[in-house]
Amino acid sequence: MPPRPAVLTKRTLDKDLDKITHAEDVAKHVLRRLVAPGLGLIFVGLVMLFAGVYVFDRPGAMLVVAAAALAGYMAMNIGANDVTNNVGAAVGARAMTMGQALVIAAIFEVLGATVAGGEVVKTISANIVDAVQVPPVLLGWIMMAALMAAALWINLATWMNAPVSTTHAIVGAVIGAGISAVGPEPVNWRVMLEITSSWITSPLIGGLIAAGLLYLVKTLIIYRDDKVAAAQRWVPVLVAVMAGGFMAYMVLQLSPTGKFQSFTVLLIGIGIGLVSWLAARPLVLAQARALENRNSSLRTLFRLPLIGSAALLSFAHGANDVSNAVGPLSAIVHSVGIGGGGIGHPPLWVMLIGAFGISVGLLLFGPRLIRLVGEEITKLNPMRAYCVALSTAFTVIVASWLGLPVSTTHIAVGSVFGVGFFREWYTRHSKRRIAYIRRKAESFDIDEPEEPNIHETRRRYLVRRSHFMTIIAAWIVTVPVSAALAAMIYWVMFALFV
């Protein structure tokens, strides 16, 4: 007896259509995750074409084009990992949306890298390993290995949701590749000591500045009986301090060495600060008219300085951390005889690769770690976030002015910890806060509130201790891991190509 033919019922058809729909959803999900890496590959290809335009008829062009591709890849990883230090606090405090933060950071990263990034590039490209003692051919391969090793380590750390120091990565990689190539003699250990000491002191300085700023905010604004009136008086001052410091830094960076004396630069900063104070005062007064005398009202008034400090920090980050990508590329360009002005003076097209690479990386891959730093490490509001961002910005700006490749990750995290630990101390010991709470209790005819539970205090007020060990561990292993990886990559490159 022949088998009965299959009957296609409506129920069977619905099941088949559901399977097709689910398969399409899975395919879309997979393809969506491949969009960012695909765009990243396109950017690297465009970087190679861009570099080829400048060096196609010069000796060593292939080496420079390959190094430019690695520099673009490194710059994208810097943008993906370090962007959290720029706008994470503002996003975590809900002063900006993710889209607004990415656009602001991308614009100011490019400006900082191209306008004020040259000084630190000299340190990375010429001062860690003495270029005079290293043959040009070997110097090119040392920097190639360093770029590849640092980029791979940062890429892995970003994938693992670990905000590591990109400065640590590239400095460790340059040392590892340099020692594997020519031994420890050409390594400038004095410069390394200066850089290492800045890694230790910069987070402490950032934490102290952030704690000091938060103390001023609490004393002058938060624990005043009329918070809004106090904010109207002091928020324009904070904006003026930020604008004046930024302009003084710009004058120092853009003017020829010795053109302006320190006193003149100080007067310029004070003048711009006064203009900014006059411009910010009516804006703050207009915002404050309809606000109630509550802490939540202060968030509105602090939104303007927080956005400004995030933009300033993005500029400072671009000026300081662009060197991690284009410093090795600059050394390679000059090792093959391309470019003028000496090894410590990168051509403009080299700076543009780093500047736009950082912005592309933060736009494609930045949101992941922004959420981690802005929302999971500590509880932030606009006042605390402003203190963290402004402290980090000024510390990085001073370091960039001095030519020290400090870690913005160290400074930002140090500022966060400074705010957290200060809040713990202030919550328990501040006489002003205790008197303020008593006045409020008396005005409402209630008993004085008891000291909050220690577990609740840790949950609400402090940086989470669990993240502290993770971050410290990442900082500790970055230099040796990147150095060992760079040494291995150099040996492979030397065996295959040299």
Which is more confident, 374 or 384?
384
Please identify which residue in the block is written with the tokens 């090795």: 328
Give the rounded percent of residues in the chain with a pLDDT score beyond 90: 6
Please identify which residue in the block is written with the tokens 């980029």: 151
Query: What are the pLDDT digits (tens) for 189-204?
Result: 776 777 677 777 788 8
- Mean pLDDT is highest, among 7-11, 137-141, 350-354, for 350-354
- Check pLDDT > 90 for residue 488: yes
Looking at residue 460, what is its pLDDT?
A: 46
Residue type, 46: L
Tell me the whole-structure pTM to 2 decimals.
Answer: 0.75
Which is more confident, 265 or 481?
481
Give the rounded percent of residues in the chain with a pLDDT score beyond 70: 72
Measured between alpha carbons, how far is 128 from 122 in angstroms, rounded to an integer? Answer: 9
Query: What are the pLDDT digits (tens) for 303-340?
Result: 878 888 788 778 877 777 777 888 888 888 877 766 55
The full 3-state SS of 64-96, as one line of letters, equals HHHHHHHHHHHHHHHHHHHCHHHHHHHHHCCCC
Contact (Cβ atoms closer than 8 angstroms) between residue 408 and residue 317: yes
Which is more confident, 400 or 346?
346
51-55, 138-142, 406-410: least confidently modelled range? 406-410
Looking at residue 453, what is its pLDDT?
A: 44
The tokens for 166 are 């990109």
User: Per-residue confidence at 274, pLDDT binned at 50, 70, 90?
Assistant: very high
Q: Is 341 helix (H, G, I), strand (E, B) or coil?
A: coil
Distance linking the first and last C-alpha atoms of the chain = 77
Which is more confident, 304 or 253?
304
Residue type, 445: D
Looking at residue 409, what is its pLDDT?
A: 72
Looking at residue 193, what is its pLDDT?
A: 75
Query: What are the pLDDT digits (tens) for 412-464?
Result: 778 888 887 887 777 776 665 566 556 655 555 444 444 444 444 444 445 56
Tell me the CA distances in angstroms from 344 to 137, 274, 401, one per residue in order.
17, 37, 15
Which is more confident, 249 or 46?
46
Looking at residue 344, what is its pLDDT?
A: 55
**478 CB contacts (<8 Å, ≥6 apart)?**
153, 157, 164, 165, 168, 169, 172
Looking at residue 456, what is its pLDDT?
A: 44
**475 CB contacts (<8 Å, ≥6 apart)?**
164, 165, 168, 409, 410
Q: Which of 423, 448, 385 minimizes the C-alpha distance to 95?
A: 385
CA angle, residues 104, 105, 109, in degrees to nearest 5: 120
